[in-house]
Amino acid sequence: MDKKTISQKLYFMEGMSVDKVVGFWEKLTN
């Protein structure tokens, strides 16, 4: 991913709750 895409994903995740972020990462790693 380029920097723009990464920054957009980080910005999006900052607006989410911790539980949602953890669940999101669990989906990626599973």
> How is 12-28 classified by DSSP, letter by letter?
HHHTS-HHHHHHHHHHH
Distances (CA, A) of 22 to 3, 6, 11, 17, 25: 22, 17, 15, 9, 5
Domain carrying residue 23: 1-29
| Per-residue model confidence (pLDDT) at position 1 | 63
pTM: 0.34
Average pLDDT, the chain: 79
| pLDDT average, residue stretch 4-9 | 82
Q: Rounded to an integer, what is the distance from CA 22 to the centroid of its chain?
A: 9
How many domains does one find in the chain?
1
| Per-residue model confidence (pLDDT) at position 6 | 81
| Per-residue model confidence (pLDDT) at position 3 | 84
